Structure 1
Amino acid sequence: MAKDAFDLVIGLGVSGRSVIRYLADQGMPVRALDTRDAPAGLDELREQHPKLKIHTGGFKGSWMKRAQRLIVSPGVAVSTPAIAEQIAEGKEVIGDIELFARAASRPLVGITGSNAKSTVVTLLGEVARACDAKPGVGGNLGVPALDLLREEAELYVLELSSFQLETTYSLNAQVASILNLSQDHLDRYGKFSDYLAAKQRIYDGCQVAVWNRDDLATRPQTQVPREITFGSHPEAHYQLDTDKQMLCHQGETLLHVDELALTGHHNAMNVLAVLAMADALGFDRATTLATVKQFKGLPHRCQLVAEDARIRWINDSKATNVGATLAALTGIGEAIEGRVILIAGGQGKGQDFSPLGEPARQYLRAALVLGQDADKVADGLSGVPCERVADMAAAVKRAAQLAQPGDAVLLSPACASFDMYDSYVARGDDFSARAREVTHG
């Protein structure tokens, strides 16, 4: 390395700060920049790394040119002109997951998809712990991947976003999976094929690909050593028999759906994915089955937050795209005696909401839409009584008036939250608190 060479970290979010920590631990010279004037946590970062040179408020051309490589945070598109210019000049541009992959010495499971990544990663981590595999669980969920290198893990289980995969070249996972694919992040990719291509990178160099037999877009587009499939398709290795409501492995019954603490068709599919990955990892099946039966799910992901003799209130605020809401609406609609009142809307990210139309007509009593793209969501829910409301307080109040015994009120926005909230967590917490108020007074 040249005497004045340095790595330039672009973006000072959670992953960017983890890169700075990692490089500092390695004794590597590093500088950082963020296009925001005052990114969150900047003062704390300066305290932790007093010698770190930081530039905010835009790209610094001289640093971009002098850096030996650019390490770009997931929230920053590599198509950004200032970065694309450096790529054209031949400069290496990578992300935190590529740094992790180069350093990790233990087997790795990489999991991506439009929906259910966090649920599947968390549940597989629970299974691994129950099987004494000492997993390090994180990535796009929870602990940044590079911070996991500080732990004494025997196996890494990573949630990976399409943004992270864009700058990853040597993942070489022991097990890799795309759980499902639907329109998402089209405000960044422009077209679905580009989004798909980013997701497919997870299979590069993997030993076992676990894919959804019901969703051919999840199938590896290049040859891999071994494939295991899951789904309701009769040819899936791990199959949901929808007639008998059984989870099966090549004809062998494993569990009845009613044995799961999780509810809904979509969650049965998530469990199947975990069973397939546990198989690929050689985990004890009895321990795996006992663990998946007890798993109750994640906050803000089809979470039952309030209930009385009449109505169930379900927080699915993490559903920030159409595919996630489609899965929740179908899964909940099939599982209850009554009908669903849907609360949806927010920042639509350029999505097409029309796929919600058919299940909405099948399962909804009414829809309440709010936020920046409320009208676009309403257009996608054609044929269903649909009302626009000003905010979450109004949505919950109106839902309580509309609901009948046996119904479920489902917050599943199909949109990002940033037009009205700091995060999907804040949105879900607001809904949950108001639902408890109307339920318990």
Structure 2
Amino acid sequence: MRIADLADKRVAIWGFGREGKAAIAAIRSRLPALPLTLFCSDAEVAAAQAFDASLRVRGEEPDATALAMFDVVVKSPGISAYKPALLAAKEAGIRVTSGTALWFAEQPGARVVAVTGTKGKSTTTALLAHLARSLGVRTALAGNIGMPLLELIDQSAELWAVELSSFQTGEAGPVELGVVTSLYEEHLDWHGSRERYIEDKLKLADVSRQLLVNATQPSLLERTAKHPHRIVFGDAAGWHLADGFIRRGTQAVFAIASLRAPGEHNALNACAALAALEAMGFDAMKAAPSLAGFRPLPHRLQPLGEHEGFDWINDSIGTTPQATLAALRTLEGRAVTVIVGGHDRGLDWNDFVVAMKAHAPHAIVAQGANGPRIARALRDAGVAVEETADLATAVSRARAATPAGGIILLSPGAPSFDQFHDYADRGRRFAEMAGFDAHDIVGIEGLGIH
């Protein structure tokens, strides 16, 4: 469905975040006289009316009866596709679409690399754009990474590096290359089950002419084995890691230690980006040296600096237990106090507990809504842990527990919604609690088309 197809339709927008605003603006640019109804939270009503005075704004979550008044509903990614009201609307013949789906319909000829994965998708997408631009390729960096595609609806690029969340993979149109960086359980509250989450992630494979997947994950290889044009990264025949280098086959191409984004998981993200660039027909070997100039994304193992005798690291975007384990692996050999916990999505922390039992950091502080559950699991396994109600108290406890010269790491393994607006808000607040200026944490560089 294209935006022009909305003409003479009764259209509702559900959600007033950045994606919702982008959808409203894009529809207005093409169909300025089309009546639009917005469903948003009561707290957003005044801002929505100020954004577009012609909107009919309803400060409520619509039920099936409310949605039945419309022909088309344009929903934001955070609105679960499995909400009963949406399922009933679809059953009644109401078309449910999204900003992502509208953009793909408007740009059928775009050369798109769509990147998804439980972890690594943002860094991989940004790395791909950085590498392509180093070759002089006019490249768009957009999607879930921080700029809705509809904000770029009237612009063109030679290459589109697009991050898609699990909420968006089912909304994408045909893409030249789909990339899956990793696959663990996450967002169970949106998808309803682990299996549905995986199925939704892998919907990207259905619309990808080529599919690039992580060879270090056997379950991912198994699930994508039937794709007719599957390629892999992370194995010895292609882009992979070995002996301290990013390698292309047997050739050492780039020293892992020269990456500013720490950890082997980030080096593997670089392999994914190089393999994607190569699959799109560009010279990845020529681009590889530009990895040295890539700045790590904010809130992803972001060193804040030294203060009060401690090194502080902000990994607020680490919202799964596996991400926390990856963060701890990059800091082995240092005295680390890790702060874990946040919004409880019901994820399984057993692998984290087993790892902590085998090799725990200097101290663990559990906080937030699922802090008690994490702490209980650790204590049952004989692992020492401190438990606090909130992040502010956890930071105070971490100060007391960490020796001089040690590291205080926020890598919560859980979302932020129990205490904060989003992971970025949590990261900035952590920086402030640590004694740093949160304004120094800039947004993601390179968004848009360059």
The TM-score with structure 1 as length reference comes to 0.89
Q: Secondary structure at the match of 1:394?
A: helix
Residue 421, structure 1, aligned to residue 413, structure 2: no
Match of 1:55 among 51, 58, 75: 58
Q: Secondary structure at the match of 2:334?
A: coil
In the TM superposition, residue 206 of structure 1 has moved relative to its aligned partner by 1.5
Residue 94, structure 1, aligned to residue 97, structure 2: yes
What one-letter code is carried by the residue in structure 1 that aligns with 2:191?
Y
* Structure 2 residue ranges without an equivalent (≥5): 437-450
Residue 355, structure 1, aligned to residue 351, structure 2: yes
Q: Distance in 1 between matches of 2:154 and 2:405?
A: 49
Q: CA distance change for structure 1 residues 329 and 3 in 2, over 3 Å: closer, same or farther?
A: closer
Q: Distance in 2 between matches of 1:171 and 1:12?
A: 24
1:9 touches 1:72 (CA, 8 Å); kept in 2? yes
2:185 touches 2:198 (CA, 8 Å); kept in 1? no
Report the more deviating stretch, 84-93 or 175-184: 84-93
Deviations 1:40-95 (A, max 9, x none): xx434434432222322232766623423222211112222221112112332222
Q: Distance in 2 between matches of 1:426 and 1:2?
A: 36
Mapping of residues 306-385 of structure 1, within 5 Å = 306-307=305-306, 311-333=310-332, 337-361=333-357, 362-381=359-378, 382-385=381-384
Match of 1:36 among 38, 41, 45: 41
Residue 198, structure 1, aligned to residue 203, structure 2: no
Q: CA distance change for structure 1 residues 187 and 249 in 2, over 3 Å: closer, same or farther?
A: same
Q: Distance in 2 between matches of 1:353 and 1:55?
A: 39
Q: CA distance change for structure 1 residues 61 and 360 in 2, over 3 Å: closer, same or farther?
A: closer
Deviations 1:272-305 (A, max 9, x none): 1111111112233344212212223111110011
Question: Which residue is equivalent to 1:186?
Answer: 188
Q: Distance in 1 between matches of 2:430 and 2:159?
A: 37
Q: Secondary structure at the match of 1:255?
A: strand
Q: Distance in 2 between matches of 1:160 and 1:118?
A: 9
Q: Distance in 2 between matches of 1:287 and 1:307?
A: 36
Q: Secondary structure at the match of 1:163?
A: coil
1:179 touches 1:218 (CA, 8 Å); kept in 2? no
* Structure 1 residue ranges without an equivalent (≥5): none
In the TM superposition, residue 393 of structure 1 has moved relative to its aligned partner by 3.6
Report the more deviating stretch, 103-112 or 82-91: 82-91
What one-letter code is carried by the residue in structure 2 that aligns with 1:347?
H
What one-letter code is carried by the residue in structure 2 that aligns with 1:25?
S
Question: Which residue is equivalent to 2:146?
Answer: 142
Q: Distance in 2 between matches of 1:341 and 1:312?
A: 10
Q: CA distance change for structure 1 residues 390 and 191 in 2, over 3 Å: closer, same or farther?
A: closer
Identity %: 29
Match of 1:75 among 75, 78, 101: 78
2:302 touches 2:313 (CA, 8 Å); kept in 1? yes
Q: CA distance change for structure 1 residues 308 and 56 in 2, over 3 Å: closer, same or farther?
A: closer
What one-letter code is carried by the residue in structure 1 that aligns with 2:202?
Q
Question: Which residue is equivalent to 2:447?
Answer: none
What is the aligned length?
A: 426
The TM-score with structure 2 as length reference comes to 0.87
In the TM superposition, residue 100 of structure 1 has moved relative to its aligned partner by 0.9
Residue 111, structure 1, aligned to residue 107, structure 2: no
2:48 touches 2:57 (CA, 8 Å); kept in 1? no
Deviations 1:89-109 (A, max 9, x none): 233222211111111132111
1:364 touches 1:384 (CA, 8 Å); kept in 2? no
Residue 46, structure 1, aligned to residue 45, structure 2: no
Q: CA distance change for structure 1 residues 7 and 238 in 2, over 3 Å: closer, same or farther?
A: same
In the TM superposition, residue 345 of structure 1 has moved relative to its aligned partner by 1.0
Q: Distance in 1 between matches of 2:7 and 2:214?
A: 50
